[in-house]
Structure 1
């Protein structure tokens, strides 16, 4: 009987261990709060500040909130943005269901511009035209000067043109935001599930005054994440040097995410400027069109000749996790 009892106890212990482990990490309640990284950690929904900063027919609400971390620090979620700041110029519409400006080609969109959209960085510079599709929102700086922000913070899906006058070399710096419907929890409702992590992704093409492509988004850009959510288990997050990794974290939808965690990192001062040192930032991660899911979005497919140019195919970029990372800064210098 003693041997049988020991065998039963061993079987129960082994079964519990297998259930409590996932991807080699224990997921007990105690271990789920184990985190050794450099971020501040918040848990649960943010305090709503603004229910919706933009209204669009058939679009989602775009809330702003404040998350209070366990260390007492407070964080604007999904990010501190300049959407309501009139001094930061809006980009021009390439395709925008919210404004009903829906061009079928880049040439048609350019022909509609009268030149007042061009932001002067250098008086003796060349006019550069950028075509941008961002899921969901972007702000662009050239040598630290704001040149264009997305017209739609969340949905419907849109694309933009940004034009600026600059001399070469110049540095592109962009803030990218995957917006959230559940403020502070990096998620939205989707197909009957209240907490769907969603995904990000940004693609851009830069052309000179001769209409030649001089830069496209790819893994030569730098990309760093500053807000990650939702996390069910903090122990799945890790860091390797400046890499902020969540590749083993659960990204499944659920209907109960109110206790999920979020990670927040402070954005460095002067990150937009040309002389900011991004040498230690990770390289951007490339994603396919299929991974981002743009085949049914005319804001992208109307301009395949630009974004998927046969001679210089632009790639969707983000940080290492296009699903869980919600605020990402990217940089690239055009030589």
Structure 2
């Protein structure tokens, strides 16, 4: 059956437009010269809504293929569904009703079974953590706690562990996403607004003295950056994976199809004490206002800890708190 002339013209135009789009994507991919694996567009949802919280965002996990034939879990491959990984205790958690107002109140709910032993002859340390959005913490390579809430509502946590200094803190940090594979979420009138991350942590000894806090002395490396709309905006300098020249304005297409993502594999044994992070970039610090915590009780109830007048902990992340969605931070605690 012969198509009418107008239908033939429209079909040819559609094919040509698709070919031009595919060609543009291919040219852009081929022009990328960085060390990351490159993907484009939305990922496939593999597990839907793995954590449900009233007034919380939908928490999905997906996968996406990069142009070099690799498959990536997005927003990250985590231990969220690993029943053997210890879950951090609540400092303030509106998702389960443990909305404590003070650290003393939260600590009073613990019976000691929460303490993870790293060194049998060590001291018990207490870590206080607020993460946007999700974290997993290791001490000398031993898992001591993960965030029970992967996305929202915003919560904060206590982790207690028995260790002997010096010891190394390593944390896997993930800024969760609603639009899998392109690092964006519904916000400020756009369905494809880039989210932001950030973590603050304070570690105290048995005497209640702060012996470690997050600041620029920590190391921070990026492993997933998105959404990227112009591959020319990203660069690398030594071990630095830079995206600060990239736009964070929501995509005009409003469907994510034109958005790219950069993926790097996590190195083996990154959690271990003897892992060499000497060439990693230093963490970048951010103010409370830059992270936006003034209206979050999971943080504001505990400013006596996080904003101690003598040892104020800072929010840290990589050099781009908006576009970098998966970050590893490390720090050696020498003790006092």
User: TM-score normalised to the size of structure 2?
Assistant: 0.90
Change (3 A) 1:288 1:182: same
- Spell out the pairing of 1:1-335 with structure 2 (5 A cutoff): 34-254=31-251, 255-335=254-334
Whole-Å separation in 2 of the counterparts to 1:28 and 1:249 = 18
1:279-313 C-alpha deviation (Å, 9 max, x unpaired): 00000000010000000100000000000000100
1:167-220 residue CA offsets vs partner (Å, 9 max, x unmatched): 010000000000000010101111331101010000000000000000000000
Aligned residues between the structures: 309
* Separation in 1, partners of 2:142, 2:29: 42
Partners of 2:275 and 2:223 in 1: how far apart? 17
Contact 2:137 2:172 in 1 (8 A): yes
The runs of 5 or more residues in structure 1 that have no matched partner are 1-26
Q: What is the CA-CA distance between 1:32 and the residue it aligns to?
A: 8.0
What SS is found at the alignment partner of 2:173?
strand
Shift of 1:130: 0.2
- Quick one: distance in 2 between partners of 1:191 and 1:29? 32
Output the aligned Cα RMSD: 1.4
Q: CA deviation at 1:53?
A: 1.1
Distance between the aligned counterparts of 1:294 and 1:47, measured in 2? 32
CA contact (8 A) 1:33 1:233 kept: no
- TM, length-normalised to structure 1: 0.90
Q: C-alpha separation between the residues in 2 aligned to 1:169 and 1:158? A: 29
Q: Matched residues in 1 for 2:116 and 2:74: separation?
A: 29
What's the secondary structure of 2:105's corresponding residue? helix
2:41 and 2:186 mapped to 1: Cα distance?
16
**In 2, Cα distance between equivalents of 1:124 and 1:294:** 38
Unaligned runs of 5+ residues in structure 2 are 1-23
- Residue 107 of structure 1 deviates from its aligned partner by 1.1
User: For residues 94-128 of structure 1, what are the alpha-carbon distances to aligned partners after superposition, in whole Å with 9 as ceiling and x for unaligned?
Assistant: 01110010111111111111101000011111000
